[in-house]
Amino acid sequence: MATKIGFIGLGTMGRPMALNALRAGYAVRVYNRTESKMEALMAAGAEGASSYKDAAVGAGMIITMLSDSPDVREVILGPNGALSGCAQGSVIVDMSTISPSVAVEIAETCRGRGVEFLDAPVTGGESGAIGGTLSILVGGTPETLDAARDVLGAMGSKITYMGPSGSGQSAKLCNQVICVLNILAVCEGLALAQSAGIDGETLLEAVDGGAAGSWMLNNLAPKMLAEDWAPGFRIVLQQKDLRLALEFAAQRRLPLFGAGLAQQLFRAAEASGWGDEGTQALIKTVRKTE
């Protein structure tokens, strides 16, 4: 078990994940480009690092939680990246959502320098990150996952091995396709109820636990009804995941009709200035097109 963790990326998801690692008793060294985001973790007992490389020095495991493929590649493989600070035998775990091919590239580069790599994207949103109940989808070797399982268990309640490097990211893109279509379904159902004069909260009580029940219905529908657009997961990040999923499908000549439609609707939301709002704000686009 790694006794010291380097954690890079303290955004909406990364900050509570790093905090849960601290609470589990691990020594955590954090780094974020916006230094102010390090303050809460340092107040809770984390050590502050001065760079990506510095966060990795002396750590048995380095965790990254970032926005997109270019960020992860730069943070890990860049000239002052985490890999340059890693000792042989250490493990880098990227928990971002990125391109599967980039995950494979990073894994091969890491292993060429004696460092193991897992792509381990998560699902469960901000509430799951705070509660330590994330579902973690892992690509890499089973042996590396076994070595990392205790640390991952501090952040998630379900850890699933998906296959070799890149498989965790591939599975996450499948998850995101399912998620966006669920979000769209909730938006359309609530918009239809509103247009029919049906009380939204009464509708939720009626369908909860039935065939229409879902995580999105339970977690996002109440926010839609309350017109609470605060982000648990921002529209711009959902769009990034959809782009990756559609690119991944295009490489396989697989049409994703629903995901393509969802991407255009989210793009309309971005065009309306709602890109930094939560994905539940998609209902504003649906209502606009009634």
Q: Which residues are known to be catalytic?
A: 172
Written as one letter, the residue type at 43 is A
Question: Where does residue 230 rank: exposed (0-12), middle (13-18), buried (19+ CB within 10 A)?
Answer: exposed
State whether residue 289 is helix, strand or coil: coil
Count of residues making up the chain:
290
- Asked if 280 and 179 count as a contact pair (C-beta separation under 8 A), the reply is no
CB 32 within 8 A of CB 10: yes
Rounded Cα distance, 82 and 167, in Å: 22
Helix (H, G, I), strand (E, B) or coil at 250: helix
> How far is 219 from 228, CA to CA, in rounded Å?
12
Q: How far is CA 94 from CA 39, 53, 112, 234, in A?
A: 22, 15, 17, 20
Q: How far apart are CA 132 and CA 279, in angstroms?
A: 21
* Contact indicator for 31, 57 with CB cutoff of 8 Å: no
Q: How far are the Cα atoms of 206, 228, 279 from residue 201, in angstroms, in the given order? A: 9, 14, 19
- E strand or H helix at 37, and its extent? none
Three-state DSSP at 31 gives strand
